[in-house]
Structures are given as C-alpha cells and as structure tokens.
Structure 1
C-alpha cells in the first residue's frame, strides 16, 4: 500500500484521490488554527514556496481532536489560513487522525511510521509525515519539529527520481 490508495475531501468539499500527487514528494500535516504551534503555517508555506516547483506538495489536514483547537467550519479554516498565513498549499476537510473515526489515510500513516516508543497515535497538532515520490512514508516528525528542519530530507527526496 501507498498513500496513493487513499482519497480525501478538500475544504471546498471535493473528494480527490491522492493518486493525483503521484511522483511528487508529499508532506502531510495535521493542522489546527488555535494551537500554540499554529505559526508553523508560515514556515510550511515558506517550504511550499521554496520547493513546490521542484516537486513538493504539502497537504494540510485540520483536526479538532486536540483540545478542540480547530473549531471552525471549512470556510472559516480556509479564510483563517489564507488571511493570516497566505496558505496556498492544498487544505483538506476537518479530519479525525486518531480513534475509531480516524481517516484511513492517517491509520495507514501511523501504522507505517509509529511515533516515539512505537505509539500508533498522533500526539498533537502539526505532526508531519514526509512521503517519497513512490507514495511511501519516509519519516514521521514530532509536532515541535519546525518545518525548516525538514528541508534537508525534502531536498534528498526531491533529488531522487
């Protein structure tokens, strides 16, 4: 299995297959608008601006599962991201990333790349998964790992054809 087996709804409500990103390096992030880590949106957008033309896609998945820090509607999330951080990378509909209602993509990601001590759960907002051009999980990053710290790994994957 790869991430390309899954699909997700955008903030605009359109269901898209992740296979449209085949051949790209992906950074999949669960996000929130009212979190202490929310300023990472700015650094994510900077990564996107720097590497998008070289084959990077960042996919944001808002989640309200951590202290209810993503309470807004799809429209409110979209507006918040655009106005406050100029987010232009794809954002998806609010998503459960843990538990019985977890999106199948996040079940796959957490099974494939467990966290600290083998934990399958996502611990907080802004957990990041870097995906190879072939759709395989390369690495999982903790919420506190700032996006700029991923640049070396992103460059490495972008150079692999």
Structure 2
C-alpha cells in the first residue's frame, strides 16, 4: 500500500467527489442545492449579475466557465423569465451588456437568502476544528482544476 494510505488513488477521489455531488444535489440541474426551483446555471448567472450590477455577456461566460453559445441560451432563458435585460455595450456595438431587472433582483435576493441558510446549516454540521481544513481542501481542489 502507498505511504499515503491509498489517498493518491484517483478512484478514491472520484468516489469522494461523486458522493459530494450527489449529497449536495449538483446532479439535479433543474434546482439549486439550496432547494430553489431554478436551474443551477441560471442561479449562478443571477448571483454574478447581482454582485456586479452589470456585466458584459462575454465576462459572464468567463466567470461561469461556460461557452459563449451556452451563455447566450442561458441569458435568453433569463430574459424570457423577465429577470435580465440586454443592452448594446456602450463601447462596442457588437458587445452585449447584461443587468438584472427589478424582478431579477428579487429572484437573486431570494436565491442568496436560501444559499446563506443552506451554507450556515452545512457549516454547523462540520465540526469546528475541521472547518478550516475543509475550506483549505476545497481551495486546493479548485486550484488543481484551474491548472
């Protein structure tokens, strides 16, 4: 057995991530892990727009790590819901600027509130002396995915 007790086994990482994805509800793309009946991608887009106030569509694609065509469809869905409005970018006629409508701001607020409650419960379920390690491990995993 390896010195790390088998922890370097890719199958162990795969199993651990699979379990996390399922437990957190990420395999259910039509609702958020917080239990809101909105696709996860739409929730992330609303969150980014609520945080920034206004974003170019290409910047939203970069932040969400999605293809431009995927974000274009996503923005179309949010526009149909009445949550996002598009406008030509002031400095580039080909660019598109996005901002939340008042109903989009309300939806984003409710999502953020549900997310805060979910993460507060989740954090409470992690033993206090393990919280820093969990946060560190998530950061390391994110960095590894970025490489």
**TM-score above 0.5, yes or no:** no
| Higher share in strand | 1
| Higher share in helix | 2
Structure scoring higher RCO (CA < 8 A, sep ≥ 6) equals 1
